[in-house]
Structure 1
């Protein structure tokens, strides 16, 4: 990311949540909320501040699917590929988003860190299939054309 790592942010989170081992998940969640991922600098710093090994902190960060060690875009687009969405053609929507943004299964985030496109197993909105979310806002009954329109709207907000 272009921003420099700010240890004061981490200190503020630790001050708010406490420095007990039991707070590590909440601490990591707040760090990720601020940076949109967990920067590598977090692990040695937290290890010293909390008295927990880097390996243990890293194992927590990699165990939970919600944590990301890679930078994510300002707009995280999750395309549902659960059964209901899949049979109602979610894959062409995913393909369109990736094509429009120059992304792939391997490269999920644009170079400008504006968009990340991911697939998820279920968003819990099967009756509205096919569904995608942008930063947890649900967009129901999507089509590839509607996905293109949505991307254009998000780009205009910049």
Structure 2
């Protein structure tokens, strides 16, 4: 996934074309932010400014939506973002130990990105898969009933 590095990034053309294709721009902020994050990988200030300008919205409104929804990120993520559910069921069934093992094996803390840019690590409140607790999500793939001993095998799936 491309990462935004400057305002001349080709993704701005793609995002602009997407916004222009919308039949009605009113009420489409979240849709446009999802598209922007899929293009850039995250939503830095220059992307938020672009969205605000194209939708004729105050930057503060765009920023407020980005901050409110945990799906949106203002910092770069790894190529394979990892999220550990820390909801009650996952926590009770060992999510903290799973998270500790991930930080040990990746050499990063929550909110960090591995040196090679391959992985980033975050936590979530609840993913709604309590029957599979504890749950780890890598990209869009969900792993259930994860134990610390399974972490190496999960990470190995993303070896190149």
Verify the 8 A CA contact 2:49 2:59 in the aligned structure 1. Answer: yes
- Rounded Cα–Cα distance in structure 2 between residues aligned with 1:22 and 1:95: 41
TM, length-normalised to structure 1: 0.86
2:55 pairs with 1:30? no
Aligned to 1:48: 53
User: What is the CA–CA distance in structure 1 between the aligned matches of 2:61 and 2:120, rounded to whole Å?
Assistant: 28
Query: So what's the TM-score if we normalise by structure 2?
Result: 0.86
Alignment coverage as a number of residue pairs: 155
- Find the counterpart in structure 2 of residue 136 from structure 1: 140
Structure 1's unaligned 5+ residue stretches are none
- Aligned-CA RMSD value: 1.9
Q: Which runs of 5+ in 2 are unaligned?
A: none
Q: Which 4+ stretches in 1 moved above 3 angstroms?
A: 1-4
2:124 maps to which residue?
Answer: 120
Give the Cα–Cα distance (whole angstroms) in 2 for the partners of residues 92 and 151 of structure 1: 16
Kept after mapping to 2: 8 A contact 1:75/1:116:
yes
Aligned to 2:115: 111
- SS of the equivalent of 2:142 reads strand
Measured at CA, do residues 46 and 120 of structure 1 come closer, stay the same or move farther in structure 2, by a change above 3 Å? closer
Q: Are 1:151 and 2:155 matched, yes or no? A: yes
Cα shift at 1:112: 2.9
Structure 2 distance, partners of 1:52, 1:95, is 41
Q: CA deviation at 1:68?
A: 0.6
1:67 and 2:84 aligned: no
Preserved contact between residue 90 and residue 131 of structure 1 (Cα < 8 Å): yes
